[in-house]
Structure 1
Amino acid sequence: MTEKELELMLVKEVKKRGGRAFKFISPGINGVPDRLVLLKGGKTGFVEVKAPGKKMRPNQIKRKGELESLGFLVYCLDNPEEIASVLDGIEKYVGNEGVFRIDKNDGTYGIKGGNRLDELETEGGDKFVGSNLAKR
């Protein structure tokens, strides 16, 4: 199996899940992952696709570390049997402690550290409550 074939399999599976897998190209910065995967609910991850058994180059490992230090998920995919687990990982990832998300499909609410919030108090003491987290 070639890298291109594996990449197309990834794109197809992302589409099945209602998401998008954009080809990620960053002019002037080498070593960025091949795909930016966007899934329902604002779930985001980067995927570097390699032919089976191939490893990431040093500049790719460096970029992976940079993105992970910013709180992003970065996967290296070299096996078609791992596509589902990579996408499952992206779907289940909430983010770093303190991440605040809005979900307009289930009423508007916040997520902090993986827990649903009915009210949120900021470090500055502002309080947000209710289904729309209106400032109290």
Structure 2
Amino acid sequence: MRQAYSKKASGSLAAAKLLLEHELFAEAIALAYYAMYHKTTALFWSIGLRCKSHRKTTIILQQVFSIDPAPLEEAREQRISRQYYADITATAMDTASLIDTAVSYLATMDALMDSMNEEGRDACRKKAQLLADSG
């Protein structure tokens, strides 16, 4: 599953870049966010965790992996505001900036997944499961 979600992340990022080139900014922002979301899902699958709650995702990122969830949260807010509110428009600069953030975020996730050994994955799994199961 890690590979499948990593592939989805790469595809979403590639599509976001193409959409930026064609000045479809809101759509590019949505796919840049989904690239980040799918890579986070890949990270979670790499330790055997499935998490459906955005709130818990951010908690697990911060408390288990020591990753600042702010870029993912900001990308999500941009996606929501650009997709659901017609009066909030995206610019080329906003979109390019978010895509750059997504590129960095994906690289951080890849480096983390590549650096974890079985013992590290087990420790993260146990800690994450406690957080995921908590109210």
TM-score, length basis structure 2: 0.28
Structure with greater contact order relative to length (CA < 8 Å, sep ≥ 6):
2
More strand by share: 1
